Amino acid sequence: MAKARRLVKENLKLVDVVIEILDARIPASSRNQEIGGLTGQKPRLVVLNKSDLADPLLTGQWEKYFSIEGYHAVAVNSLSGRGLKGVPGHVRRLAVEGKVESRPSFGGRSRSPRCMVVGIPNVGKSLFINKLAGRRAARVEDRPGITRGPQWIRVAGNIDLMDMPGILWPKLDDQEVAFRLAATGAIREEVFDLIAVAGKLMKWLTEYYPAAIQKRYKLEDLPADPLEMLEAIGMKRGFVRSGGVIDTFQSAQVVLKEFREGRLGRFTLDRPEL
């Protein structure tokens, strides 16, 4: 991550607009506060990606929140392309505000706006770029940290984008933030307790969206204890090992997978303070 921060600093002078990609399900938790310090006063477009998986009402509230904070914000679904058509217009408006288009390039002609795409791992930066480019321009893989170094890509609207490696905190001291990052897949599963995270997610869903769990897993009663909840789901799904022991680890894997894929519903774990 130190290398990623260094790359941002070194290449910032080459760009006109910073595009910050956030996960619409966790706009606050997926926002690395270091990015603000690294990018300084560069005009910034906040992109709430994966909006198809987030609560649409809360996504609208987050757009309002960022507007109040002084940022342009747009909700997109980089998988389907929904919301991406407005991105070039936002970039050009920010470029004009930053007076970059008045600065001519070679031959006295205005050049295309240049953008740096930043964000933590696995918020969909590469997929966002690929969809705008209309081709497989940046490598996409459903694993955090797949982007290794900066690369320029020409995308729709005659805009040049520089993809950067994901920037995460050196340490995750806030356990609530760590939980939300783990639940949405921003942290590799090898570094956290899968059962603990899935259990906490079930507890959160039981509090805010109990009907969604009951419908998905066909449960009449929702146990208050997270481990018992995973056991009930394991029983319904047939995750029973020899001797009648329920495989709660497999239950946890399924719960997290189905949450991340939107099979449980559209949820936003972070709520804005308006």
Structural domains of the chain in order of their starting residue, each with its CATH number: 2-163 (3.40.50.300), 193-260 (1.10.1580.10)
What's residue 207's pLDDT?
93
Q: Report the candidate in 5, 6, 47 with the shortest Cα–Cα distance to residue 169.
A: 5
Q: Is the pLDDT of residue 108 over 50?
A: no
Q: Is the pLDDT of residue 101 over 60?
A: no
pLDDT band at 228 (very low <50, low <70, confident <90, very high): very high
What's residue 1's pLDDT?
64
Mean pLDDT of the chain: 86
What's residue 261's pLDDT?
95
What's residue 263's pLDDT?
96
User: Mean pLDDT across the stretch 20-28?
Assistant: 96
User: Mean pLDDT across the stretch 85-101?
Assistant: 81
User: Mean pLDDT across the stretch 199-209?
Assistant: 95
Q: Report the candidate in 158, 93, 82 with the shortest Cα–Cα distance to residue 124.
A: 82
pTM, 2 dp: 0.86
Q: Report the candidate in 56, 80, 169 with the shortest Cα–Cα distance to residue 120.
A: 169
pLDDT more than 70, % of the chain: 88
